[in-house]
Amino acid sequence: MRHWMIGLALVASCILPVAGQTPSTYKAPRSPHKDGKPDLNGIWQANNTANWNIQGQAARQGPILELGAAFSIPAGLGVVEGDEIPYQPWAAAKKKENAAKWLELDPEVKCYMPGVPRANYMPYPFQIVQTPTHILVAYEFASASRTIYMNSKEESPADTWMGWSRGRWEGDTLVVDVNSFNDQTWFDRAGNFHSEALHVVERYTPVSRDVLQYDVTIEDPKVFTRPWKMSMPLYRRAEKNAQLLEYKCVEFVEELMYGNLKKKP
Amino acid sequence: MAISRKSRNVGLTLAIAVTAAVSLNGQEKGPRTPWGDPDLQGIWSIATITPFERPSALADKAQLTEQEAAEAEKTFLKTQNQDRRDGAGTDADVALAYNDFWWDRGTKGVSSRQTSLVVDPPDGRVPALTAEGRARATARAARGYDSWQDRSLWERCITRGLPMIPGPYNNNYQILQTPDNVVILSEMIHDARIVPIDGRPHVGQSIRQWFGDSRGRWEGNTLVVDTTNFTDKVSYRGSTEGLHLIERFTRVDKDTVRYEFTIDDPATFTKKWTAAIPMARTDEQIYEYACHEGNYGMVNLLKGARAQEKAGGEK
pLDDT in tens, B7-19: 433 333 333 333 3
The reported pLDDT for the residue numbered B8 is 37
Cβ atoms of B188 and B289 closer than 8 Å: yes
Give chain B's largest Cα–Cα span. 76
Give the distance from residue A163's alpha carbon to the nearest chain B alpha carbon, in angstroms: 9
Query: Is the pLDDT score of B121 beyond 70?
Result: yes
Task: Please give the span between the terminal C-alpha atoms of chain A, in angstroms, as a whole number.
Answer: 41
CA angle B264, B265, B267 (to 5 degrees): 155
Measured distance CA(B249)–CA(B278) in Å, rounded: 9
Average pLDDT value over all residues in chain A: 93
Q: Count of CB atoms within 10 A of residue B78's CB? A: 9
A109 touches chain B (CB under 8 A): no
Q: What is the pLDDT of residue B10?
A: 34
In this prediction the ipTM stands at 0.90
A171 to each of A34, A107, B92, how far by Cα in Å?
Answer: 15, 36, 61
pLDDT at residue A17, rounded to an integer = 47
The band of B98, judged by pLDDT with boundaries at 50, 70 and 90, is confident
For residue A113, which residues of chain B lie inside 8 Å, CB to CB? 190, 288, 290, 293
Residue-wise DSSP of A60-72: B--S-GGGGGGG-
In this complex, is the C-beta atom of B288 within 8 Å of any C-beta atom belonging to chain A?
A: yes
Kindly report the nearest CA distance between residue B302 and chain A, in angstroms.
6
- Per-residue pLDDT of A156-186, as tens digits, reads 999 999 999 999 999 999 999 999 999 999 9
| Distance in Å, alpha carbon of A133 to nearest chain B alpha carbon | 7
In-domain check, residue A108: yes
Q: Domains of chain B: which residue ranges? A: 2-314
**What is B2-314's CATH topology?**
Lipocalin (2.40.128)
The per-residue pLDDT for range A39-60, each reduced to its tens digit, is: 999 999 999 999 999 999 999 9
Q: Which A residues 159-198 touch B at CB under 8 Å? A: 160-162, 184
| Cα separation values, A144 from A173, A260, B69, Å | 24, 27, 40
Tell whether B143 lies on the interface with A, counting CB pairs under 8 A: no
What part of B 102-121 touches A (C-beta under 8 Å)? none
Specify which residues A73 forms β-bridges with: A60
Q: Which domain holds residue A203?
A: 31-59+73-261
Average pLDDT, chain B: 88
Hey, is the C-beta of B162 within 8 angstroms of any chain A C-beta?
A: no
Residue B213 reports pLDDT greater than 70:
yes
Tell me whether residue A64 is in a domain.
Answer: no
Query: Residue A157 sits in a domain of what CATH number?
Result: 2.40.128.20
Span B6-61, pLDDT tens digits: 343 333 333 333 333 444 444 557 899 999 999 999 999 999 999 999 999 998 89
Q: In this model, does residue B183 exceed pLDDT 70?
A: yes
Q: How sure is the predictor about A11, in pLDDT bands with cuts at 50, 70 and 90?
A: very low
B204 C-beta neighbours (distance < 10 Å), count: 8
Q: What angle do CA A121, A125, A128 make, to 5 degrees?
A: 95
The whole-number average pLDDT for the span A94-99 is 98
Does some domain include residue A25? no
Domain count, chain A: 1
* % residues pLDDT > 90 (chain A): 90
Interior/surface letters A4-31, b for 16+ CB within 10 angstroms, e for the rest: eeeebeebeeeeebebeeeeeeeebeeb
- Res B78: pLDDT: 83
pTM: 0.89
Within A121-229, where are the H helices? none
Report how far residue A56's alpha carbon sits from residue A82's, in angstroms, rounded to the nearest whole number. 10
